[in-house]
Amino acid sequence: MTISLLIAGGGTGGHLYPGIAVARELLRRMPDAKVTFVGTAAGIESRVIPREGFTLDTIRSAGLKGKSLASLARGVALLPSSALDAWRVISRRRPSIVIGVGGYSSGPVVLLAAMRGIPTLLMEQNAMPGATNRLLGRFVKAAAVTYEDSSRFFAGRAFVAGNPVRPEFLGGRHDEHGSARDSGERATRVLVFGGSQGAHAINMAMVEAAPRLATAGTGLALTHQTGERDLEMVRDGYTRAGLEARVEPFLYAMDREMKDADLVVCRAGATTLAELAASGRPSILIPLPTATDDHQRKNADALVTHGAARMIDQRTLTGELLASEILALAQKDGERAAMSAAARRMARPDAARVIVDRVIELAR
C-alpha cells in the first residue's frame, strides 16, 4: 500500500516543523509514500517547505479570530475561495489521509477531507488548542496532542503523542549540570531569543538588564537572537553597558545553540518548549501576552509546574527583574541541573513515531 499524505496548515514554524518531522518519519519507514503540504503563499510555509524538499500547494485563506474589522471582512470574503482551492487540491492529490497541523489554512482542507470520507488527523501542540483545531475536533478521526489536558477538546478522539521535534535537538553533549560547557570553562552560557522575528519586549528588557549583568561579577557568555529590527539597538545597548555578547539577527543552527546553552531565555511557543525538553535546557520563559487564547502562558505553566522552567509575565517584565533571574540561575549549578532533568522527563523523543503509527493505521 502506498500512502498519499496531505499536511495542511502553517503560518508559524511552531505549526510547520512538527508536521515536517512527521513527514520525514513516514518517508523513513515508507520511502514510496507521497507527501504534499498545503498552505498559503504569504505564510512561512512558502519559504520553509520548498527548502525542506517538499511540495507545497497553496490556497487562498486568511484568519478570522483576533483580527481588525477589515482583516475579518477579508477573511470572511475569502472563505468561498478557500473552500474551492482546498477542494481542487484534494481532488488532484487524492490523499489517503489528511493531517491538520494548525493555522487557519488547515481549516478548509481538513473539513472538506472529512466531508469526503478521507481519514483526518489533527496535531495540537499547545496546552490550549487553537481555534481552528477546536472547531475541527468534532469532525476528525483522531487528534495527536502534546498535553493530556488538551484531550477534552476532541471528544474522545485524542491520544497523547507529544510534540515532534527535529532529530537534531535530541541527544547531544551534556555534563552533570545539564550543561554543554567544555571542561575548565567557567562562563555560564545564556541563550536569548524571541522567535525568528525576535521579541521586542525581551530585547528591550535585556538592554535594560545589561548594566547589572556586566557588573555582577558572574561570568556570562551571552548569545542573543534579536531579529532584524532591534539588532543595532541591542548591540549598542550592550556596548554602552560594557557587556560582551554575541548578537545576531537570526541563528540558523538553533539545535546547536540550544544544546550549548546552560540557560535559555525565550518565549513559550509549543515547538520551542518541545525543543527545550528534547535538549534538556533549563529556561526562563516570557510568554507572548497577545498569543491567541493566552496559549503561551498555558504552555509555560506546564514546564513551571514540573520544575523545568521559571516564568516572567511580560506585564511585570523589567530589566532588573530579568537580570535577577538570570544571575540567580547562573550562580546555581544544582538548580539548573534539576531543571534540566525535569525538562528531559517531559521530552517525547518518540512523538513522530507514535503519530506515524496512527497515520498508517488510519490510512489503511
How many CB atoms neighbour CB 335 within 10 A? 16
| Whole-number Cα distances in Å, 161 to 14, 135, 143 | 16, 20, 9
pLDDT in tens, the chain (364 residues): 899 999 998 776 678 889 999 999 999 999 999 999 999 988 888 888 998 999 999 998 766 555 566 655 665 666 788 899 999 999 999 999 999 998 888 999 999 999 999 999 999 999 889 888 999 999 999 999 998 889 999 989 999 999 999 888 986 554 444 444 444 556 999 999 997 667 999 999 999 999 999 998 778 999 999 999 999 999 999 999 999 999 999 888 899 999 999 999 999 999 899 999 999 999 999 999 988 789 899 999 999 999 999 999 999 999 999 999 999 999 999 999 999 999 999 999 999 999 999 999 999 8
CA-CA distance, 292 to 17, in Å (whole number)?
A: 19
C-alpha grid cell for residue 312?
A: 516572567
pTM for the predicted model, two decimal places: 0.82
Residue 26 contacts residue 353 (beta carbons within 8 Å) = no
39-67 burial: b if 16+ Cβ within 10 Å, else e = bbeebbbeebbeeeebebbbbbbbbbeee
Which cell is 359 given?
497515520
Cα 329 from Cα 314, distance rounded (Å): 19
Return the beta strands (E) in 178-231 as ranges: 188-193, 220-225
Give the rounded distance of the alpha carbon of 55 from its chain centre: 22
Cα–Cα distance measured from residue 262 to residue 148, given in angstroms and rounded to the nearest whole number = 29
